[in-house]
Amino acid sequence: MLSYILRRILLLFPTLIGITMVVFFVMALSPGRVTDSLQASEANMRPEERQRIEAYLKKRYGLGDPLVVQYGRWLNRVSPVGFKEAGEGFPRSTTIGFKTPDLGESFIRRRPVLDIILEALPVTLLLNLITIPIVYVVSITSGIWAARKRGQAFDVTSGVVLLALYSMPEIWIGVMVLGFFASRDYLQWFPTSGTHDVLAAQMAFLPVFVDGVFHRGWLLDAVWHLILPIIVMTYGSFAFMSKLMRSSVLENLTADYARTARAKGLTEHVVLFRHVLSNSVLPLITVAASILPGLLGGAVIVESIFGLNGMGKLMLEAIKTKDQELILSQTFVVGIIGLGSLIVADICYAIADPRVSYE
């Protein structure tokens, strides 16, 4: 088992390098890359500012050097392990060691990219961390139920409903939900944007009654703001996972080992929940690997519609303002998070299925 995990982690590195290469060369091979960023903000720049940026670009990207060298230089700056200036990172004296990854500086916002990303990341992670358990719990339950009552009302209707839900684009549902439940023209049950009310910082944490007036409190306010976005993020995933669970359970209910279990005299309940279930969730663990990148992508839409300041919204703004460093670093960071989820899912699967480690 341990050797499997180690091997898996070792295989991480080529992929990691691959991600950096894809990210870098998308930019590097495009027509008019660096100069575009300059031109976009040229109107607002004073000459010294412009020179500073040119000098920065030259240092960071070595414009004029062959592409491969530029890539190497960028990679070195971005990675937490590499060649460093004396006195930087750990250990302080040698030339190779650990250092803070330098993701560059955003011209538009005039701030280090790393800081900007670290501000936006928690919102996106929060959205995803709430979404994933909801999706799994609902899918597993509905999948089991549909498999047990195969062919009956619940199974058929849930199959149709889930397929319809899966086909509904997030862009549409998000806009409709926002428009009908959170706009001034229709029902205004929910706030139109943001994760918190403007006055959130002054609220008490828990809901409380003051002079007979109900105050939401910080926690409830946050929940209220997140309900619509979470609904939009979760509904699409139910279909796929639920159908997967259903077919997996059906397959296992009629498997030979289930027949053996029944022949031993076990109740149908025990056969289902002890024997069949532990085999049925295995495909769901495999799928977990790709659910996080999918949700991260979906977050782009949801954050844009609901005005949540996460990575997705950040990415869109970066593109609109042609903030090159920010775009590159964001794609890179998101790729790493995605890769992390792939590895975690693989390891979880190896733990769940004893057949794997012995390949």
What six digits make up the tokens of 160?
A: 């149709």
Backbone angles phi, psi at 216, to 5 degrees: -65, -40
Phi, psi torsion values for 189, nearest 5 degrees: -80, -25
Name residues contacting other proteins, limited to 116-135 (CB under 8 A).
Answer: none
CB of 351 to other proteins, least distance (A): 11
Give the shortest CB-68-to-other proteins separation in angstroms: 19
Q: What one-character DSSP code corresponds to residue 355?
A: T
Q: Which CB, 208 or 319, lies closer to other proteins?
A: 319
Report the residue from 57, 117, 301, 350 that binds other proteins according to the rule CB under 8 A: 301
> What does the per-residue mask of binding to other proteins show for 30-69, with x meaning CB under 8 A?
xx-x--x---------------------------------
Instruction: Count helices and strands (H / E) in the chain.
Output: 14, 6
| C-beta contacts of 337-340 below 8 A and 24+ residues apart | 337/292, 337/296, 338/292, 338/293, 338/296, 339/12, 339/15, 339/16, 339/19
Query: Quick one: how far is CA 136 from the chain centroid?
Result: 16
Q: How far is the CB of 332 from other proteins (least distance, A)?
A: 9
Least distance to other proteins from the beta carbon of 50, Å? 21
CB nearer to other proteins: pick between 226 and 345: 345
CB of 218 to other proteins, least distance (A): 23
Contact region for other proteins (CB under 8 A) — 40-48, 69-77, 123-131, 300-308? 300-308
Rule CB under 8 A: is residue 198 a binding residue for other proteins? no
Q: Which two tokens stand for residue 136?
A: 């799994």
**Piece of 40-48, 53-61, 70-78, 314-322 that binds other proteins (CB under 8 A):** 314-322
Q: Which is nearer to other proteins, 33 or 196 (CB)?
A: 33
CA distances for 253 relative to 142, 159, 259, 285, 340, angstroms: 16, 19, 8, 19, 33
By beta-carbon proximity to other proteins, the closer residue of 180 and 214 is: 180
Written as six digits, the tokens of 93 are 């004296």
For residues 101 and 118, give the distance between their C-alpha atoms in angstroms, rounded to a whole number: 13
Asked if 249 is part of the footprint of other proteins (rule: CB under 8 A), the reply reads no
263 contacts other proteins (rule: CB under 8 A): yes
Position among 18, 80, 133, 194 found at the interface with other proteins (CB under 8 A): 18
Instruction: Report if residue 354 touches other proteins, rule: CB under 8 A.
Output: yes
Count of CA atoms in the C-beta half-sphere (13 A) of 87 = 0
Distance, CA of 68 to CA of 292 (rounded, Å): 32
Q: Which of residues 330-349 bind other proteins (CB under 8 A)?
A: 330-331, 334-336, 338-339, 341-342
For 110, the 3-state DSSP assignment is coil
Q: Which of 266, 284, 309, 348 binds other proteins (CB under 8 A)?
A: 266
156 binds other proteins per the rule CB under 8 A: no
